[in-house]
Amino acid sequence: MKKIAIIGSGSWGSALGIYLSNNNNEVKVWSFSEEERDKINNEKKCMFLPHATIPEGLMCSCNIEEVIEGADIILHVTPSKFVRSTIKQYKDYVSPNQMIIMCSKGFEAETLLTLDEVIKEEIPGCKYGILSGPSHAEEVSINIPTALVVASEDEDVKETVVDVFKSKTMRMYTSSDIKGVELGAALKNIIAFCAGVAVSLGLGDNSFAALATRGLVEISRLGVAMGGKEKTFYGLTGLGDLIVTCGSVHSRNRRAGELIGKGLSIEETKKEVGMTIESIDNIDVAYKLSQKYNIEMPIVNAVYNVLYNGLDPQKAVDGLMTRDLRAE
């Protein structure tokens, strides 16, 4: 048994808490919301996971020091835009023997930094890793078989996380490619958003296959330029996560693309989805990174123009289909 602190009580944080508590660990969850805290503690329910039940042993608190104190592992599970501000709230309570595992997916928009870089800036020298893989919270919370990857340069971090997570419904893999694992997770949300636009336009399986395949090419191009290993993008945290996020009704990023494709504004889409949409938050970042690293990313460019320059989604598709022809 390990003591686990989970920073964030949204769908993914709650799903991880449910799973790890049921896997014989002592779990405390931090929430900024008293309403969410009370629902978890008193009703044993998560407002984002209607089909899941919170285990009796799981406790939620709005006191971040109380949650961090004595934990063996800290799982950070907030939206990417709140990663730095949340770390600032708890970094003074972190001891050298505690591990921080980043479970959020995305970038810091203001700096274009990946989230592992934010950890290193805020808590230099800490033991940390990245947890990722094709995993909808809705399914993990009800014990549907899932495979995840923990990436770290620290062997003790990898071994400990694998030992805590492994079960007959959770298969664990390890990687030393922190940057590749993290970038695959962050960038696939953008392609999933595009998949939603394709659905709204009534495009078929042929279009979907082309989008996913060429989208993966764009992800790997930028990912390698930023220091990731190419093979990582064709594993669970690249191709695997791309498949599950593009093709599933659980995907809020795909849902957001559908709504934008139907003509809703960004603000209307955010209100309709009701949860953080990492793709919308990170499309601008991916566009800027493609320019910074001089990487050709036509799909990212197209969706950027749809969101921020008023390009009609159908014209974006037409533009992608009529680009100069070349060898694959």
The residues, ordered by sequence, that sit 6+ positions from 255 with a Cβ below 8 Å of its Cβ are 196, 249, 273
At residue 100, what are phi and psi to the nearest 5 degrees?
-110, 120
The residues, ordered by sequence, that sit 6+ positions from 227 with a Cβ below 8 Å of its Cβ are 179, 180
C-alpha–C-alpha distance, residues 277 and 11, integer Å: 12
Task: Just give the CATH number of 179-321.
Answer: 1.10.1040.10
The residues, ordered by sequence, that sit 6+ positions from 157 with a Cβ below 8 Å of its Cβ are 99, 101, 127, 128, 129, 150
Beta sheet of 3-7, edge-to-edge order: 59-61, 26-30, 3-7, 73-76, 99-102, 127-132, 146-151, 170-175
- The residues that are catalytic are 188
pLDDT for res 81: 93
CB 161 within 8 A of CB 1: no
pLDDT for res 6: 98
pLDDT for res 85: 98
- Which CATH number does the domain 3-176 belong to among 3.30.420.40, 3.30.70.1450, 3.40.640.10, 3.40.50.720? 3.40.50.720
pLDDT for res 60: 98
Question: Which of 12, 46, 17, 47 is CA-nearest to residue 29?
Answer: 17
DSSP one-letter string for 4-40: EEEE--SHHHHHHHHHHHHTT-EEEEE-S-HHHHHII
**Could you tell me the residue ranges of all domains in the chain?**
3-176, 179-321
pLDDT for res 328: 86
Below-50 pLDDT ranges, the chain: none
Rg of the chain on CA atoms, in Å: 19
CB 128 within 8 A of CB 99: yes
Helix, strand, coil shares of the chain, percent, nearest 5, are 55, 15, 30
The token pair that represents 67 in the structure block: 């949650």
Task: Specify the DSSP element, H or E, that contains 171.
Answer: strand 170-175
Q: The dihedral of CA 82, 9, 246, 115: what is its sign?
A: positive
Query: CA torsion angle for 288, 291, 296, 300 (degrees, to 10)?
Result: 20
Q: The dihedral of CA 215, 303, 181, 256: what is its sign?
A: negative
pLDDT for res 275: 82
Question: How many residues make up the chain in this entry?
Answer: 328
C-alpha–C-alpha distance, residues 137 and 139, integer Å: 5
